[in-house]
Amino acid sequence: FTNFVSAHQVSTNDAQALIDRAEAFKAGTPAPAHQPVYAANLFFENSTRTHTSFEMAERKLGLTVIPFDPGHSSVTKGETLRDTIKTLAAIGINIAVIRHPEDTYYEQLLDVSPTLAMVNAGDGAGQHPSQMMLDLMTIHEEFGDFTGLKIGIVGDLSHSRVAHSDADMLTRLGAQVMFSGPKQWFSPEYQQFGPYVPLQELVPQVDVLMLLRVQLERFNNNENAAFSKESYHAQYGVTEQLAQTMKPSAIFMHPAPVNRDVELASVLVDGPQSRIFTQMHNGVFMRMAMLEAVMQARHFGAVPAHSLNH
Ligand code: CP
């Protein structure tokens, strides 16, 4: 992975190797020593988990993290994203972790510098590869395999970069993916991965119920005025009553932040079938594995090679 930007570049073998490496880090395998490598995290959209988790992963790997605050950067003076990345490369940044509201922003940056790698921390409604990989790790930890697992992805499909990345990879790994939520959000692009199933029919059959946040900040004024949290929860949310129809072995996942009592009854977020905070915990180890794979591909820090070979 000379850059890690999309689910499309991850083969099923890559996914399994990254899961194995992340699980080894979680089990206590130390990060190999290396020469200095410099990382900057550029978040042009707000984030709690992804930003903090990447920084934690970078520090656990022994990278030097150089702060970057978009609000106090020269982007506010009109400097382009491309010039910003070119500047960071000139200064000596090796890895730029970027979140940006524009879909596929990274395509215009792939040729900026041979000495700077990009890791996509989320582009608009496009891709969220690190969330995808930590989701795979969490499912793998729980079930050991993906083949034949029934996975329901429910909620704001139209704005979800998580759904785009996860549906693609989970299908390739042999899981049976199904979708639910407001039907108008089930766009034709999802039909290649699986069917739309009404929520009451979906919930009792799935092994994993993956709920998506309603992204109110991306709604226009009319959509915001028409939206009712209570009626969404009653129609498309998982209530305590509906959750009782789940298989006892089934789990809830959610990329978070969660709109409690909208996508999922608040008590279920912290309940025994929730893996939402496990996902966040796993994200640190998975991001270590992803950053390490990029460093190896670029020969940054002369890291000793392991099984990943790109
Ligand atoms: N899941 C996720 O991307 O959360 P943040 O927006 O807080 O990073």
Q: List, for residues 73-108, the tens digit of each pLDDT value.
A: 999 999 999 999 999 999 999 999 999 999 999 999
Domain membership of residue 158 (yes or no) is yes
Does 234 belong to an annotated binding site? Answer: no
Q: Are residues 178 and 199 in the same domain?
A: yes
Backbone angles phi, psi at 58, to 5 degrees: -60, -45
Q: Are residues 161 and 214 in the same domain?
A: yes
Domain membership of residue 38 (yes or no) is yes
Domain membership of residue 308 (yes or no) is no
pLDDT at 173: 98
Q: Are residues 246 and 171 in the same domain?
A: yes
Whole-number Å distance, alpha carbon 259 to ligand 1 midpoint, is 13
pLDDT at 217: 84
List pLDDT tens digits, range 181-233: 999 999 999 999 999 999 999 999 999 999 999 988 888 888 888 889 999 99
Buried b (16+ CB within 10 A) or exposed e, 210-246: bbbbbeeeeeeeeeeeeeeeeebbeebbbeeebbeeb
Structural domain that includes position 84: 7-128+280-302
pLDDT at 306: 56
Q: At what angle do helices 12-26 and 276-298 cross, to 10 degrees?
A: 110
Domain membership of residue 309 (yes or no) is no
Q: Are residues 142 and 238 in the same domain?
A: yes
Instruction: List the beta bridge partners of residue 253.
Output: 210
Q: Are residues 104 and 181 in the same domain?
A: no
Q: Are residues 139 and 248 in the same domain?
A: yes
Domain membership of residue 133 (yes or no) is yes
What interface predicted TM-score (ipTM) does this complex get? 0.99
* Residue with CA closest to ligand 1 atom 6: 47
> Does residue 45's CB lie within 6 angstroms of at least one atom of ligand 1?
no
Domain membership of residue 123 (yes or no) is yes
Domain membership of residue 214 (yes or no) is yes
Number of domains in the chain: 2
Task: Report the CATH number that the domain containing residue 105 is assigned in CATH.
Answer: 3.40.50.1370
> Reduced to 3 states, what is the DSSP secondary structure of residue 251?
strand
State pTM to two decimals: 0.95
Domain membership of residue 2 (yes or no) is no
Does 30 belong to an annotated binding site? Answer: no
Does 275 belong to an annotated binding site? Answer: no
Locate the DSSP E strands across the chain: 38-43, 64-65, 95-100, 117-123, 150-154, 176-180, 208-211, 251-253
Taking all residues of the chain, what is their mean pLDDT, rounded to a whole number? Answer: 95
Q: Are residues 105 and 144 in the same domain?
A: no
Cis peptide before 195 (omega within 30 of 0): no
Best residue for ligand 1 mutational test, from 42, 45, 50 (most atoms within 8 Å of Cβ): 50
Question: Which atom of ligand 1 lies closest to the CA of 255?
Answer: 1
Percent of all residues in the chain with a pLDDT value above 70, rounded to a whole number: 97
> Does residue 187's CB lie within 6 angstroms of at least one atom of ligand 1?
no
Confidence of residue 307 (pLDDT cuts 50, 70, 90): very low
List pLDDT tens digits, range 228-270: 999 999 999 999 999 999 999 999 999 999 999 999 999 999 9
Q: Are residues 253 and 141 in the same domain?
A: yes
Amino acid at site 69: D
